Structure 1
Amino acid sequence: MAVSAAVYALCVVLCICSFQTSVFAASKTLKLTYYAHETRGGPNATLLPAAGTGQGNFSALGWGSFLVFDNRLKQGAALDSKLLGRITGFGVLSTIGGLPTGGVQVTSKFWFGEGSKYPGSSITVVGTLSYGPTPWELVVIGGTGKFRGYSGYGLSQPENSTTVPPIYVYKWNFYLTKK
């Protein structure tokens, strides 16, 4: 009787261990790098201060200012690099002291178009972009298409900028896991 109970317990332990192994083996990890190209002025602006203080003057934006954006998602930092999709979303300056004391709380979607490896797919990102040290870390809460079931985080940092037109380029490294 004691032998059969021990064999039964051993079988249960082995089943649990094999289940855990299969769960970990089923996880898939991706590391992706892309570049956001943001134009902050002129007729082709991709970032708009839609409400709040400092209308049209980014250095005068204050607490409660609301921004919307429709930036270009590119393969590289160069202005002529391949267009892969769009990055759309909105942000709110969420601290009373404005940008220097906190940052912009953003929700954005990285849409991958026909020129990309993942056409019709997207990644949704939430977090704060601040004046603090880089890289900024934001949460990837999910995705669609090829990214369905993935979550993780993205690290972003300024890459370079131009003055005419005012274009800011940000490098994004995504670390995604599917379970």
Structure 2
Amino acid sequence: MAPHSAVLLSLLALALAAPLGVLAADTHLHFFLHDQVSGSNPTAVQIIKGPGSASNALGGMAFGDTTVIDDALTEDPSATSAAVGRAQGYYMMSSQSGAVLMVCVNLLLTAGDYNGSTLAVIGRDDIMATTRELSVVGGTGKFRMATGYVMWRTNSSSGPDVTVELDVYVAALNGSSTIAADAPVSPIDGGGGAGTGGGSSGKSSSGAAALLPYGWANAVVAAVLVALAGCVW
């Protein structure tokens, strides 16, 4: 095989992979999670009690303790501000030597352009740290095949009840949709940069790229490069 033919085949392989990166649309979401343990209608309920000794740093939680949640997500730190979704899943005390949780939660969005879409979040929550980073490992709807991360900060606490500020940064692939840069702003459509503590008043922090059906793009690029390769063989 001639050297230039090998080069063309290499370009073909790169071209087939490239659209997956080109079609990524970056989105920044900002909202607050309210973990309500106390009261007559808690949104966080312990379902497993571990055998370990209690940790004062987590209000009496011990290693192995597991709590299921259906926490409210709101636009602002106040629990009575506009609702934008629910955080549904669980967290457990996963360290024998510190106040560390393993968090596994689906962020169900219920307002604005992302109504009905979800983000799957999992990670290590060292609650004594100012900022914790958790992973976005998937999603549905407009966030199908999403990847990214969440900057997770404790905003306030009252006894066992905690309000957490979330800055979510995701890239998603959707072969049939476009997230328009001039779309109407929704409470979960960005704004309130990391650590500001403010509400969501702006659009997605990085805008968005049109998402085109990548199957046709792959086919066209492949056909052109194969034709070129055939001419020089």
CA contact under 8 A between 1:85 and 1:116: conserved in structure 2? no
Structural mapping, 1:30-179, within 5 Å: 30-52=27-49, 59-97=59-97, 101-113=98-110, 115-161=111-157, 167-179=161-173
Structure 1 position 5, deviation (Å): 3.1
Deviations 1:143-164 (A, max 9, x none): 011111111111100123457x
Structure 1 position 17, deviation (Å): 5.0
Counterpart of 2:142 in structure 1: which amino acid?
Answer: K
Q: Answer 1 or 2: higher relative contact order, Cα 8 Å, separation at least 6.
A: 2
| Cα distance in structure 2, aligned partners of 1:124 and 1:46 | 19
| Cα distance in structure 1, aligned partners of 2:20 and 2:90 | 36
How big is the alpha-carbon RMSD for the aligned residues of Structure 1 and Structure 2?
Answer: 2.4
Structure 1 position 63, deviation (Å): 0.9
Structure 1 residues not aligned, in runs of 5+: none
Counterpart of 1:43 in structure 2: which amino acid?
Answer: S
Shifted more, 15-24 versus 152-161: the winner is 15-24
| Cα distance in structure 1, aligned partners of 2:4 and 2:63 | 65
Counterpart of 1:160 in structure 2: which amino acid?
Answer: S
SS at match of 2:76: coil
| Cα distance in structure 2, aligned partners of 1:38 and 1:28 | 30
Q: TM-score, normalised by structure 2?
A: 0.63
Report the CA distance shift for 1:124/1:24 in structure 2 as closer, same or farther (over 3 A).
closer
CA contact under 8 A between 2:101 and 2:127: conserved in structure 1? no
CA contact under 8 A between 1:160 and 1:169: conserved in structure 2? yes
| Cα distance in structure 2, aligned partners of 1:70 and 1:153 | 21
Q: TM-score, normalised by structure 1?
A: 0.80
Shifted more, 85-94 versus 4-13: the winner is 4-13
Deviations 1:18-74 (A, max 9, x none): 4454343222221211211222211121112223166xxx51111111111111011
Aligned-pair identity (%):
23
Structure 2 residues not aligned, in runs of 5+: 174-233
Counterpart of 1:29 in structure 2: which amino acid?
Answer: D
SS at match of 1:170: strand
Report the CA distance shift for 1:16/1:85 in structure 2 as closer, same or farther (over 3 A).
same
| Cα distance in structure 2, aligned partners of 1:65 and 1:18 | 49
